[in-house]
Amino acid sequence: MCGIIGYIGSRKAYPILIKGLHRLEYRGYDSAGCALISEEDSDLHIYKAKGKVADLESAAKGKDCSGTIGIAHTRWATHGVPSEVNAHPHVSETGNLTLVHNGIIENYSTLREQLKKHGYHFQSETDTEVLVQLIEYVMSKTGEDLATSVRVALKSVFGAYAIAVIDRRHPDMLVCARRSSPLAIGIVDGDGEFFLASDASPIAEYTKHIVYLKDEEVGVIERGKHLKVYDLNGAETEAEVKEIDLDLSMLDHEGFPHFMLKEIFDQPNVLKDCMQGRIVESPYSHSPQVILSAVTSNRRRLLRARRIVIVSCGTSWHAGLIGKQLLEHFCRIPVEVAYASEFRYSDPVIEPDDVVVAISQSGETADTLAAIQQAKSQGAFVYGIVNGVGSSIARESDTGTYIHVGPEIGVASTKAFTGQVVVLTMIALALGMAKGTVEQDEYEQTIRELIQIPEKINRVLEQNDKIKQLASRFTFAHNFLYLGRGWNYPVALEGALKLKEISYIHAEGYPAAEMKHGPIALVDAEMPVVFIATHHKLYQKIVSNMQEVISRHGRIIAIVTEGDEQVKGMVEDVIEIPETLACLAPLLSVVPLQLLSYHVAVAKGLDVDQPRNLAKSVTVE
């Protein structure tokens, strides 16, 4: 969480920093700030505001924003409430240095006490302020330059950081460093112009050439010179320049009122992109087949797996629950699904042949990253399913498949979920075929149905107005229950999470049959109950569960298969989705739930894309 950005070059830094902060705002948005070294008086000018980047723009309006070097930050509070004084950049005792930080300094209170004894004063409640003071302390004691002082100071620091620091006495230098929090440096060839940011999205419009700093590397950026990268001991390391290809149109609303709605409507097209080149017609059988390079090139290693452990968080964990069913069904391999935050501290049993699958939209979630590092250290083979190209989890994995759904900006994940499920389906099919655990007919039928999913999602999206109208009648609720079974049980969890995240209505997802063991006590006329009751083998059982709710006057919203007359005869609010295979039903049944939560939140007048207290990318524990 928190987004940082920096610029040094010949252009005015301020507009670049502000535009970049807007792109990074998904990482946190409770306060923002920027620091520039002025062209007019060569001094540091720092502007901060509680609230969003737009509030920072108001705070800086009419002030000196003339610098061609600057750093900026958008915050998601960890230590210290959201306020102007806790907003970054933070400034050193002498006022010479200023710094922005993403991460958590775990030993900050010890460092702070030590620095206080040396006469340092602290203005904020943040962990970050110790960093800038510590760097200054090292500088004053050793007489070293900024780059060396940063390096030395970071040796005393425990925790996670991506930092950028500037010194008002050296307006041609910007120093940055990372450990466990991401940092990308964009290089404009030949111009000595540099951009740095928490991800490539604010950089991509200026250059395709990116260096992703590795853990415990320090980048020294000097105007007009080449980037230099060092380890914490001062040895120069090689900066590997990667070429990125980011579709910038994905970073705009494109006529939709919110990113979330745009991303829900993106799904048909991005899922086609996700399957592109991976589902191909076989020249021999004239039937489509799945070809995933990660499965092909690691075939022997994957076939050895006697167990798969999926680690992930949030929505990606829900995709993992569907992945378990897919992999067990098609590959007959036992699969466990763990919250990454639990797995990493659980002293996990990892056998030599185990495969750990990490699912992450951002590729930066701190717990998921730590979980795979833990698994790798115990000998597991790690397969990443990631959206963030070049992200930490993608780089840390032994192999992987990108979901390729384009940047997801809305904090509530939508298209990443369906992209993850599509990739999991393709992996299960490819691996099942390699293992011989899936029949040719079922393999071909599943692929043919998978290809139809984007068009079928379009048919669900055509009901947007109907779902909007329905949602407007449910804004009164304080609680919602979501019930599903089998393949649709994870969808019930995901539907409940979507509602909680953006409408602040308490919602629980449950396996429908478990309702009798507790949640049914909550059911009354005030309790909307969403049933996902598509036409599969447990259909009649879930219809019975529905009767139990009706008998207790619960208000049902039912997601059913097109043409379902039985449920339509029982309940008023029914949303139909096209018929598909049971294992692919989540790809359709989740879409009306995404729209339902979106429209409930909009009807309540809430900030859909930036809900309170949440952040898109959780880079702290």
Which of the residues are catalytic?
2, 616
On the 0-12 / 13-18 / 19+ scale of CB atoms within 10 A, 542 is buried
Other CB atoms within a 10 A radius of the CB of residue 426 amount to 23
Stretch that binds ligand G6P, among 8-16, 362-370, 374-382, 559-567 (CB under 6 A): 362-370
Of the residues 146, 173, 411, 549, which one makes contact with ligand G6P according to CB under 6 A:
411
Of the residues 31, 181, 207, 360, which one makes contact with ligand G6P according to CB under 6 A:
360
What tokens does 504 get? 């602040």
**From CA 519, how far away is CA 242, in angstroms rounded?**
51
Binding of residue 616 to ligand G6P (CB under 6 A): yes
Other CB atoms within a 10 A radius of the CB of residue 216 amount to 18
Residue 509 parent element (H or E): strand 506-511
Closer residue to ligand G6P, CB minimum distance, 391 or 580: 391
Q: Listing from the earlier edge strand, what are the strands of the sheet with 573-577?
A: 506-511, 479-484, 528-533, 555-561, 573-577
Binding of residue 314 to ligand G6P (CB under 6 A): yes
Stretch that binds ligand G6P, among 118-126, 138-146, 154-162, 609-617 (CB under 6 A): 609-617
**From CA 92, how far away is CA 234, in angstroms rounded?**
23
On the 0-12 / 13-18 / 19+ scale of CB atoms within 10 A, 486 is buried
Closer residue to ligand G6P, CB minimum distance, 542 or 618: 618
**From CA 537, how far away is CA 328, in angstroms rounded?**
18
Stretch that binds ligand G6P, among 274-282, 359-367, 398-406, 583-591 (CB under 6 A): 359-367
Binding of residue 392 to ligand G6P (CB under 6 A): no
Closer residue to ligand G6P, CB minimum distance, 147 or 614: 614
Of 267, 242, 245, 247, nearest to 256 (Cα)? Answer: 267
Binding of residue 614 to ligand G6P (CB under 6 A): yes
Minimum CB distance to ligand G6P, residue 337 (Å): 14
Stretch that binds ligand G6P, among 16-24, 62-70, 312-320, 474-482 (CB under 6 A): 312-320
Minimum CB distance to ligand G6P, residue 396 (Å): 13
Of 57, 70, 131, 122, nearest to 101 (Cα)? Answer: 131
Binding of residue 618 to ligand G6P (CB under 6 A): yes
Binding of residue 313 to ligand G6P (CB under 6 A): yes
DSSP three-state, residue 257: coil
Of the residues 267, 325, 362, 488, which one makes contact with ligand G6P according to CB under 6 A:
362
- Total of chain residues touching ligand G6P, rule CB under 6 A: 15
Could you tell me if 356 and 309 are in contact, meaning their C-beta atoms sit under 8 angstroms apart? yes
Minimum CB distance to ligand G6P, residue 356 (Å): 14
Compute the chain's Rg from CA coordinates. Answer: 26
* β-strands 184-188, 228-231 pairing: unpaired
Of the residues 68, 128, 180, 361, which one makes contact with ligand G6P according to CB under 6 A:
361
Stretch that binds ligand G6P, among 57-65, 238-246, 354-362, 516-524 (CB under 6 A): 354-362
* Closest-approach residue to ligand G6P (CB): 314
Closer residue to ligand G6P, CB minimum distance, 361 or 589: 361
Of 193, 208, 251, 191, nearest to 16 (Cα)? Answer: 193
What tokens does 278 get? 């991976």
Cα dihedral 17→22→25→29 (10° resolution): 90
DSSP three-state, residue 527: coil
Of the residues 92, 148, 413, 488, which one makes contact with ligand G6P according to CB under 6 A:
413
Stretch that binds ligand G6P, among 102-110, 357-365, 543-551, 555-563 (CB under 6 A): 357-365
Q: How many residues does the chain have?
A: 621
Of the residues 74, 365, 580, 594, which one makes contact with ligand G6P according to CB under 6 A:
365
Q: Which residues of 70-92 are buried (b: 16+ CB within 10 A; e: fewer)?
A: bbbbbbbbbebeebbebbbbbbb
Minimum CB distance to ligand G6P, residue 368 (Å): 5
Minimum CB distance to ligand G6P, residue 340 (Å): 8
Of the residues 86, 133, 198, 316, which one makes contact with ligand G6P according to CB under 6 A:
316
Binding site for ligand G6P (CB under 6 A): 313-316, 360-362, 365, 368, 411, 413, 614, 616-618
